[in-house]
Structure 1
Amino acid sequence: MNSTVLEIKNVKKNFKGNEVLKDVNITLKQGFIYALLGANGAGKSTLLKIVTGLLNSDGGKVTIQDINIADNPVAAQKLFSFSSQNSTVDGVLTGYENLHLIAKLRHERNPRKVAESLLEKFDLTEAKDKAVSNYSGGMRRRLDLAMSLVGNPEIIFLDEPTTGLDPKSRQDLWDTIKEMKLQGKTIFLTTQYLEEADYLADQIGFLREGKIVASGTPDEMKRIAGADKLLLVFNRNEDTDIALKLLESYSPEKKDNCEISIDLTEDITTTLNVLNALTTENIELKTFKMITPTLDDVFMTLTRGRK
């Protein structure tokens, strides 16, 4: 059974009378990836600063491996690493020098070996002697992640790790983060990208106006937007009207002149029954497809305030 690594309980934060965080509660288990989703200004970065001890809260408690970060920040900070939105690498130094320096600062026994091992792990060996100022955005973020692994932290905090990256660099970084999880790391990340949360996370929290308005697995989140749907497309309006009457027991919804949507409570059974009914009545379909809600649909549902 996975133990709890991070617990955020009833965390609050006010700035000049503006309540930025309102009783935020999150629990993260060992070896899991948690994605905190929210638009700009939702409070994601503020929460991450409180969780990592860079900012005091106005209420609530944060514990990492049962250590209260407000009471003992030094002990807690030894258990994690934090990669902010802005890369912390030194552009003047080479990739190797950046890692070697961090390894020495973290009192690693063999900083040279640590640096070389991480350069290889993050596919940076060929560029190890280049100044980081000459690295691409994706290479910089990989180096930043490599630096976050120095000292073998229990948990890794990533604040919008792929912001500003091109699609290929973003996918490469996602694969790197997944690989870190496979190696047993616990990861807490913030993101604006719904696709990123869906691809990476075991658990997702939606932060809106300082509150967690929904949380769960990606599949659980998608159910907020409704059931899977069967979309039927006909060649003629007449066929569409006949099908609406024939399939009345399935509560069909007319989407367009020649389109009908049906909620799938039992995906396979409902689909087969609908198609059999249409075939029996010789109603010709142009095409059909199953549509599964996405996190984009969930985001739209939540931002409209619907439950």
Structure 2
Amino acid sequence: MKSSAIAVSGLRKTYGDKVVLDGIDFEVAAGSVFSMLGPNGAGKTTTVNVLATLATPDAGTVRVAGHDVATATKQVRAAIGVTGQFAAVDELLSGRENLQLMADLKRVRSGGRVVADLLERFDLVESADKMAATYSGGMRRKLDLAMTLVGRPRIIFLDEPTTGLDPRSRRTMWAIVRDLVAEGTTLFLTTQYLEEADQLADRIVVLDHGRLVAQGTPDELKRRLPGTHVRLRFTDRSALDAAARILPGAARDEQELILRVASDGESKSLRALLDRLDQHAVNAQEFSVHTPDLDDVFLALTGRPSTEAISQ
């Protein structure tokens, strides 16, 4: 069992009469990716602000890197890095100058070597001396994360790190995140892309109206929903009709000539299903197994589609 990088118990935060966080509890294992999902106004950004010492909790206990966020603010800030939704780079400075500025502010020893290493690690050497204003969106996000790493934080908060990036740049960022975790860094991720949480997160919590409505690994959350099924596609209506008679209860799609058959998706069940079709000389043109994804989980838990899952 990994030790806890973040431990939250009974966290409550209100603004006036509005309860933003209503007594939430969770732990983040050191050296893991932890993702918080939720629709607009769920309380995700407020949670990150409390963890990053930018907001004070009204009740509960919050420890980050072993320190209480209310009484050991300086120690918490020394252990964390925060990369926001929008790249916080100075466009009038070059990439190298942005990194050197952070090294100076953090009083990093051997700052020049640290800067050179980060430029190489993030594949920014060729553009290091160009103004950041000339960088693409993906390059700015990489530079922003590199600036966060100047102080070698043990815990990094990533608020929608790939928003607005093209698929190639997004996967580059995913690779960087995985490398950081392999080195022992803990990452707290908020994202509007459920595929991103599915790909990266070791554990996910779903926040809605200030309360945690679910938590677990991506697979655990998906297994909570029924709906795994085998999809069979046929070449003509007669084959579809014959299969429907053999498999009563299957859902039909007349236009696409598809049957959806409830299944646990295991090989034994698939073999039995195909054997039944074969016994009646019915051939499916193609078949595939479909399981609920995080979009289905999100919709089931919050009553809203995942396209609204923008950090708030």
Counting only pairs closer than 5 Å after superposition, residues 7-26 of structure 1 correspond to structure 2 as 7-26=7-26
Contact 2:64 2:76 survives alignment (8 Å): yes
- Look up the match of 1:115: 115
Deviation at 1:292, TM superposition (A): 2.2
- Look up the match of 2:194: 194
Letter in 1 for 2:23: D
Deviation at 1:235, TM superposition (A): 4.1
- Look up the match of 1:209: 209
Equivalenced residues, count = 302
Match of 2:151, SS? Answer: coil
The sequence identity of aligned pairs, in percent, is: 39
- Distance in 2 between residues matched to 1:182 and 1:234, nearest whole Å: 46
Letter in 2 for 1:253: A
Match of 2:162, SS? Answer: coil
- Distance in 2 between residues matched to 1:143 and 1:126, nearest whole Å: 13
- Look up the match of 1:254: 251
- Distance in 1 between residues matched to 2:180 and 2:130, nearest whole Å: 25
Deviation at 1:130, TM superposition (A): 1.0
Deviation at 1:266, TM superposition (A): 5.2
Deviation per CA, 1:57-83, whole angstroms, max 9, x where unpaired? 221121013210111100111111111
Deviation at 1:87, TM superposition (A): 2.0
Match of 2:35, SS? Answer: strand
Contact 1:13 1:19 survives alignment (8 Å): yes
- Look up the match of 1:125: 125
- Distance in 2 between residues matched to 1:280 and 1:253, nearest whole Å: 18
Contact 1:24 1:212 survives alignment (8 Å): yes
State yes or no: 1:43 paired with 2:43. yes
- Unaligned ranges ≥5, structure 2: 305-312
Counting only pairs closer than 5 Å after superposition, residues 61-72 of structure 1 correspond to structure 2 as 61-72=61-72
In the superposition, relative to structure 1, how do residues 303 and 115 fare at CA in structure 2: closer, same or farther (>3 Å)? same
Contact 1:228 1:267 survives alignment (8 Å): no
**Structure-1-length-normalised TM-score:** 0.92
- Distance in 2 between residues matched to 1:191 and 1:9, nearest whole Å: 23
Deviation at 1:262, TM superposition (A): 2.3
State yes or no: 1:302 paired with 2:306. no
- Distance in 2 between residues matched to 1:132 and 1:233, nearest whole Å: 51
- Unaligned ranges ≥5, structure 1: none
- Distance in 1 between residues matched to 2:161 and 2:236, nearest whole Å: 49
Deviation at 1:277, TM superposition (A): 1.0
Q: Which moved more, 1:118-127 or 1:209-218?
A: 209-218
Contact 1:37 1:193 survives alignment (8 Å): no
Deviation at 1:160, TM superposition (A): 1.1
- Look up the match of 1:274: 273
Deviation at 1:293, TM superposition (A): 1.8
Letter in 2 for 1:72: A
Deviation at 1:25, TM superposition (A): 1.5
Deviation per CA, 1:12-37, whole angstroms, max 9, x where unpaired? 11122111111222211111001111
Bigger RCO of structures 1 and 2 (CA < 8 A, at least 6 apart):
2
Structure 1 segments of 4+ aligned residues over 6 angstroms from their partners:
none
Deviation per CA, 1:100-129, whole angstroms, max 9, x where unpaired? 121122221111111111111111111111
Q: Which moved more, 1:278-287 or 1:132-141?
A: 278-287
- Distance in 2 between residues matched to 1:98 and 1:286, nearest whole Å: 57
Q: CA RMSD in A?
A: 1.8
Contact 2:228 2:265 survives alignment (8 Å): no
Deviation at 1:296, TM superposition (A): 1.3
- Distance in 2 between residues matched to 1:231 and 1:211, nearest whole Å: 36
